[in-house]
Chains A and B, each alone.
Chain A
Amino acid sequence: ETGVTQSPTHLIKTRGQQVTLRCSSQSGHNTVSWYQQALGQGPQFIFQYYREEENGRGNFPPRFSGLQFPNYSSELNVNALELDDSALYLCASSSTGVDEKLFFGSGTQLSVL
């Protein structure tokens, strides 16, 4: 157990809908990163939040957005869902520092029909 929890574990949406995924960080961690893992692929970095501010973004369109709350939990929001958004979404928390270590949650499996 990493102490990082994600909800829901599975989700089915239709094209064009909006979705919100949630992540609770491990205690003491102030940084949250989100990754998208398509079937048969490695995870791809979406963005990172540090102390409630976006702190780096990967090659994802603006319809992917996020929030980090004062308790360091986080949300990933995706608007106007497309079929290609179907993937496992992973949240990882860490504490800042030169030798930071990421702790991953078990992910949310999103299916877009």
Chain B
Amino acid sequence: AQSVTQLGSHVSVSEGALVLLRCNYSSSVPPYLFWYVQYPNQGLQLLLKYTTGATLVKGINGFEAEFKKSETSFHLTKPSAHMSDAAEYFCAVSDPLGGGKLIFGQGTELSVKP
């Protein structure tokens, strides 16, 4: 069975500071890993995904994440936070043979202070 744990339901950073959102997963097979962002009253938007190959993945809006198999982690980072980054972030895992079913974490709400 697959599962996702996001450490910290709420993270607050100052504008210009480093953003670090933590995600650990459990999977019996090499997983696909995703980060999604959700703005208020909207659906989910894909930030980035890891399938195979290079373990450092770059996404939209300056975000990136690194797949670390030994740590079963896929933490999301951004060097400098913008006010527009304030949103809910979800980490998700899927089985490559699972037909696209995503298992989501509980989410981390990111606040950005001026």
Binding stretch for chain B, among A14-22, A67-75, A79-87, A97-105: A97-105
User: How many A residues have CB within 8 A of the partner chain?
Assistant: 28
- How close is A108's CB to chain B, nearest CB, in angstroms? 10
Decide yes or no whether B96 CB sits under 8 A from chain A: yes
For window 92-113 of chain A, which residues contact chain B by CB distance below 8 Å?
92, 94, 98-102, 104-107
Q: Render B24-52 as a binary contact track against A, CB cut-off 8 A, 1 for contact.
A: 00000000000010000111111001010
Q: A48-B99, A56-B99, A106-B41 are in contact. Are A42 and B46 (CB under 8 A)?
A: no
Q: A33-B101, A42-B104, A43-B104 are in contact. Are A102 and B46 (CB under 8 A)?
A: yes
Decide yes or no whether A90 CB sits under 8 A from chain B: yes
CA distance in complex: A44, B44 (Å)? 13
CA distance in complex: A94, B90 (Å)? 19
- How close is A103's CB to chain B, nearest CB, in angstroms? 8
- How close is B89's CB to chain A, nearest CB, in angstroms? 10
- How close is A12's CB to chain B, nearest CB, in angstroms? 16
Inter-chain contact count A-B, CB under 8 Å?
Answer: 63
List B contacts of A35 (CB < 8 A). Answer: 102, 104
Decide yes or no whether B103 CB sits under 8 A from chain A: yes
For window 71-114 of chain B, which residues contact chain A by CB distance below 8 Å?
90, 92, 96, 98-107
Q: For A43, give the chain B residue with the smallest CB separation.
A: B104
List A contacts of B106 (CB < 8 A). Answer: 40-42
For window 35-60 of chain A, which residues contact chain B by CB distance below 8 Å?
35, 40-45, 48, 50, 55-56, 58
Q: Which of A2, A33, A44 contacts B100 (CB 8 A)?
A: A33
B101 touches A48 (CB 8 A): yes
Q: A42-B90, A42-B107 are in contact. Are A90 and B100 (CB under 8 A)?
A: no
Decide yes or no whether A78 CB sits under 8 A from chain B: no
- A-B contacts, 11 of them at CB < 8 A, read A4-B43, A41-B107, A42-B4, A42-B92, A43-B102, A48-B100, A90-B43, A92-B44, A100-B100, A102-B44, A106-B43
| 6 A-B pairs with least C-beta separation | A42-B104, A104-B43, A104-B44, A106-B43, A45-B101, A43-B104
